[in-house]
Amino acid sequence: MNIHEYQAKEILGSFGIPIPRGRVALTSDQVERAAKELGGHCVVKAQIYAGGRGKAGGVKVVHHPEQAQELGKELFGRRLVTPQTGPEGLKVRRILVEEAVDIASEFYLSITLDRSTSRYCLIASAEGGVEIEEVAQKSPEKIHMLTIDPFTGLRPYQARKIALALGLSGTLCEDCVTLILNLYRCCLEKDCFLVEINPLVVTRAGWLMAMDAKINFDDNAVYRHHEYPDMLDYSQLDNLEINAGKYDLSYIKLKGNIGCMVNGAGLAMATLDVLKEFGGEPANFLDVGGGATREKVAEAFKIILQDEDVKGVFVNIFGGIMRCDVIAQGIIEAACEVHCALPIVVRMDGSKVEEGKKLLFESGLNVQIGENLGDGAQRIVKMLG
Ligand code: GDP
Ligand code: MN
């Protein structure tokens, strides 16, 4: 789960990490007022769920409150396109106004869950800032990494090793050690998948400060933090993904034209593989879960059909907990409600499968039954071809 930069900074601040003074604005007048309060010389930062804003014109230094207001007018409502947003971009609905800081040097610092070691990994580089992706690609030796043992946690000497590798010395080095340990504490206590500071800067005045922050919460831990759902900015999310979340369906939009409805993540992945094998392109990944109800199946079906790229639907369900006739009813209900004339292929197996097939045949929908996974995949590809 993503949150905005200003929210991430608030959290870092609560863990003792220095952040610039700032205000969040929802209108260009608020941008002006915030800039006035902060002394006029400010940084105006578009808040979207993506990085790369600096290069896309979403982060700018201004010198007067009126200039801040002008920039606010320009940014609000605009879709900011960065390498991380995709071509359609993300709409700017909130702007962070911060006191401008004189920067002496920029570093990169993050802690993220490394799935290959199942551990948190600390990543740091003395070449932080907007070019970090390029640094990682062209000179990986400039990126320092440290795997954190969950039983001992991050030790001060390890944090010191990183601070020294960044070229810091004296009190600045010790401040950095404290900051890194605080970042790790934040990561654990807030159940983060990622905490990233880029750039972490040394100011001309000689202080460390987090100039940009990104936090990603671990979705599986959201239930432990009752305040998290309220932190979401729905304007930054895909509509279909929001609906899927409401019904507890795992839905991810993909680029193809075959809508897929499957129960179980493993079966869903196998379905996408087999579809591809026969030349099909899945439009989404959708797992309705093991014990999905008729209502849930209907909702899932509607979500698939709302995607305008979908030209046909492939349903692959194993009726173990869920009975096949119930699934069939869900499909028929949803398809009729939205007047779906698209080709549908259903492959199902398990309890009450004959009853389910009979319901589908008698439904009047443009539906075919697949005998098995391969047959079903071939059918839907053929119906679209
Ligand atoms: P990103 O491009 O989405 O990662 O946005 P950032 O918040 O990292 O901003 C991009 C760049 O703007 C940073 O790497 C800094 O170099 C610069 N920047 C941000 N805030 C300030 C500031 O207060 N003063 C100065 N001089 N530069 C800043
Ligand atoms: Mn940044």
Residue-wise pLDDT tens digits, 334-381: 888 888 889 999 999 988 999 999 999 999 999 999 999 999 999 999
Which of 12, 130, 131, 208 should be mutated for ligand 1, with most atoms under 8 A from CB?
130
> Are the C-beta atoms of 162 and 145 separated by less than 8 Å?
no
Atom nearest to 99 CA in ligand 1 = 23
- Residue of 6, 49, 108, 120 marked catalytic: 108
User: Is residue 291's pLDDT more than 80?
Assistant: no
Transcribe 208-235 into DSSP letters. Answer: EEE-SEEEEE-GGGGGG-TTHHHH--GG
Ligand 1 closest atom vs CA 53? 3
Mean pLDDT, the chain, integer:
94
Two tokens, residue 223: 């239930």
Residue 59 CA, ligand 1 centroid: distance in Å = 6
The region of weakest confidence among 99-108, 155-164, 245-254 is 245-254
Distance 131 CA to ligand 2 centre (A): 9
pLDDT of residue 320: 75
Say if residues 2 and 236 touch (Cβ distance below 8 Å).
Answer: yes
Tell me the C-alpha distance between 200 and 7, whole Å: 17
Residue from 48, 71, 98, 103 to probe ligand 1 pocket by mutation (most atoms less than 8 Å from CB): 103
Q: CATH 3.40.50.261 region(s) of the chain?
A: 238-384
Q: Residue with structure tokens 């499909």? A: 331
Tracing tokens 């993220």 back to the chain, one arrives at 112
Could you tell me what percentage of the chain is helix, strand and coil, using 3-state DSSP and rounding each to the nearest 5? Answer: 40, 25, 35
Q: What is the pLDDT of residues 101-142, one digit of tens each?
A: 999 999 999 999 999 999 999 999 999 998 999 999 999 999
Ligand nearest to the CA of 128: 1
Q: What tokens were used for 59?
A: 């982060």
Centre of ligand 1 from the C-alpha of residue 334, in Å:
48
Please name which ligand lies nearest the alpha carbon of 22: 1
**Residues 163-171, mean pLDDT to the nearest whole number:** 97
Two tokens at 180?
């890194």
Q: Looking at residue 83, what is its pLDDT?
A: 92
% of residues, the chain, pLDDT over 70:
99
For 77-171, list the strands marked E by DSSP: 79-80, 90-91, 94-99, 103-114, 119-125, 143-147
Task: Please state, in angstroms and rounded to a whole number, the distance separating the CA atoms of residues 76 and 324.
Answer: 49
The average pLDDT across 228-245 equals 86
**The pLDDT value given to residue 243:** 80
- The CA distances from residue 183 to 3, 51, 101, 194, 215, in Å, are 17, 20, 21, 11, 11
Q: Which of 149, 61, 54 is nearest to 100 (CA)?
A: 61
pLDDT digit string, tens, across residues 56-100 = 999 999 999 999 999 999 999 899 999 998 888 999 999 999 999
**pLDDT score, position 248:** 81
Please give the distance, rounded to the nearest whole angstrom, from the Cα atom of residue 36 to the centre of ligand 2.
Answer: 25
Pairing of strands 344-350, 312-319: parallel
In sequence order, what are the residues at sequence separation of 6 or more whose Cβ sits closer than 8 angstroms to the Cβ of residue 118? none
Q: How confident is the model at residue 147 (pLDDT cuts 50, 70, 90)?
A: very high
Q: Chain-centre distance of CA 106, in angstroms?
A: 25
Alpha carbons 327 and 230: distance in angstroms, whole number = 33
Segment (H or E) for 300: helix 294-306
Which of the pair, 311 or 296, is modelled with greater confidence? 311
Give the pLDDT confidence score for residue 278 in this predicted structure: 97
Task: Indicate the CATH number for domain 21-100.
Answer: 3.30.1490.20
Report the pocket of ligand 1 as residue ranges, CB < 6 Å. Answer: 43, 45, 51-54, 59, 61, 100-101, 103, 106, 129-130, 198-199, 211-212
d(CA 50, CA 2): 9
**292, pLDDT greater than 70:** no
CATH topology (fold) of 1-19+102-237: D-amino Acid Aminotransferase; Chain A, domain 1 (3.30.470)
Q: Quick one: CA dihedral 102, 4, 39, 32, positive or negative? A: positive
Among protein residues, the one with the nearest Cα to ligand 1's atom 13 is: 129
Phi, psi (deg, nearest 5) at residue 209? -155, 140
Give the pairing of strands 344-350 and 367-369: parallel
Is the model more confident about 323 or about 102?
A: 102
Percent of the chain with pLDDT over 90: 79
Position 148: which residue type? I
- From edge to edge, which strands make up the β-sheet containing 250-253? 250-253, 284-287, 258-262, 312-319, 344-350, 367-369
Task: Give 12-27 pLDDT, tens digit per residue.
Answer: 999 999 999 999 999 9
Q: The CATH number of 238-384 is which of 3.40.50.1100, 3.10.20.30, 3.40.50.261, 1.20.1200.10?
A: 3.40.50.261
Q: Are 360 and 346 in contact (CB under 8 A)?
A: yes
User: How far apart are alpha carbons 312 and 279 in whole angstroms?
Assistant: 14
What is d(CA 63, CA 41) in angstroms, rounded to the nearest whole number? 4
> Which tokens sit at 2?
């993503």
Smallest CA separation from ligand 1 atom 19, residue: 211
Q: Respond yes or no: is residue 234 known to be catalytic.
A: no
For the chain, residues classed under CATH 3.30.470.20 are 1-19+102-237
pLDDT value for 201: 98
Looking from the CA of 220 toward its CB, the CA atoms found within 13 Å total: 1
